[in-house]
Amino acid sequence: MSQTDTASGGGQGLPPANTPPANTPPKAEAPSHRGARLRRRARSLGGLVLSLALTLLGLLLITFIIGRVMPIDPVLKVVGERATQAQYDAAYQAMGLDKPIWQQFLRYVSEVLRGDFGRSISTGHPVSEDLKRVFPATVELATLGTLIGVCVGVPLGVIAAARRGGWIDQIARVLALVGYSMPIFWLGLMGLLLFYGILGWIGGPGRQGIIYDGMVPTVTGMILIDSLIAGDWGAFRDAFSHIVLPASLLGYFSLAYISRMTRSFMLEQLSSEYVTTARVKGLSEARVVWGHAFRNILVPLITVIALSFGGLLEGSVLTEIVFSWPGIGQYITKALLAGDMNAVLGGTVLVGACFVGLNLISDLLYRVLDPRAS
């Protein structure tokens, strides 16, 4: 055997130098690497919590300032204009308005964190109870509208981008343009006139007809879900006939936004090099579009859907007024016209907190769909 063969291990079956033996288990991750990864995740989570807390604090500060700069005397709204000076002074002190402004803010934050928004002048009930009553109606309406927007808008945007310049793309662009341009209160009035007044296909304004009003036990506050829980199909059909038109209108405006953004995201992905490579490899167009390009737009699309849902929560005021929908939009509007600042600020804080919560959910979903973000 030559010296070369001996050095290379050719005659004795020895493995080459620096080659790991067969059946060697993979090396475990070094403890230092695991610790660094855990520290990165802890810092990321800590930053997220801090950002959330600062956002909520900023929201409370803004609503506090609004309550102080509004040209409405909150004491007079409580005691009435015929109250004596002694009664006025007593209420002024009881509301803490004689304290320094920073103490008033701390008291306001403490009360809000306990869920105490004061008492509504319009209804005479605690604002927190009023919000529990009206907010589920808005959530039900906005959720159904968002589902319509997502189920129609996302496929429409994807197909419009995949067949750019085709008739589906043209329809999508026209729908988005009309959705952004048409006043929703006009569409609501025309829809009521046609589908309720002339054709009689749907229920009228409100959440339920007089026959079913108050007959379904309140569990979630959402009549569609509560009627299903109670097994009352008559109440479910009646509630659906009332919500289908306002939810469809909100869904149309959500559809216009979601389809436009989906189309934009998809066009960017379809022009990427990895899509060209996938097509050269012979993958089907459906797999290229839905299996590759669509998966890469899920992260930004989550933000779009979350913002759309939040927009419907706070932007359905005109829809609720046109359809006499007893939601938070109508509640805040009536309170503002009546000078009921406790109700206005309470509703504003609730809607703002929902936006913060939706952003938090979006961030968490980012980390699930894209581990690189963690």
Predicted pLDDT of residue 143? 93
- How far apart are the C-alpha atoms of 253 and 241, rounded to whole Å? 20
* Domain range enclosing 250: 133-373
Mark whether 106 and 179 lie in a shared domain. Answer: no
In a domain, 28, yes or no: no
Mark whether 163 and 297 lie in a shared domain. Answer: yes
The token pair that represents 164 in the structure block: 């750019």
Count of domains for the chain: 2
Q: Decide which of 113, 148, 167 is a domain's last residue.
A: 113
Are 327 and 30 contacting, i.e. CB atoms less than 8 angstroms apart? no
Q: What is the pTM of this model?
A: 0.79
Predicted pLDDT of residue 356? 84
Q: Give the CATH number, domain containing residue 325.
A: 1.10.3720.10
Torsion over CA of 259, 261, 263 and 264, rounded to 10 degrees? Answer: 170
In a domain, 8, yes or no: no
Predicted pLDDT of residue 93? 80
Q: Which residues contact 291 (CB under 8 A, 6 or more apart)?
A: 283
Query: What Å distances lie between residue 324 and 185, 242, 249, 340, 341, CA to CA?
Result: 12, 10, 15, 20, 22
Q: Which residues contact 355 (CB under 8 A, 6 or more apart)?
A: 310, 313, 314
Mark whether 153 and 195 lie in a shared domain. Answer: yes
Mark whether 157 and 302 lie in a shared domain. Answer: yes
In a domain, 369, yes or no: yes
Nearest to 129 by CA among 114, 116, 111, 139: 116
In a domain, 15, yes or no: no
Angle, helices 233-270/223-230, rounded to nearest 10 degrees: 130
In a domain, 1, yes or no: no
Are 84 and 308 contacting, i.e. CB atoms less than 8 angstroms apart? no
Mark whether 165 and 105 lie in a shared domain. Answer: no
Predicted pLDDT of residue 10? 43
The sign of the torsion formed by the CA atoms of 323, 326, 330, 335 equals positive
Mark whether 75 and 206 lie in a shared domain. Answer: no
Mark whether 321 and 278 lie in a shared domain. Answer: yes
Mark whether 148 and 293 lie in a shared domain. Answer: yes
- Spans of the chain below 70 pLDDT: 1-35, 37, 41, 44, 370-374
Mark whether 145 and 105 lie in a shared domain. Answer: no
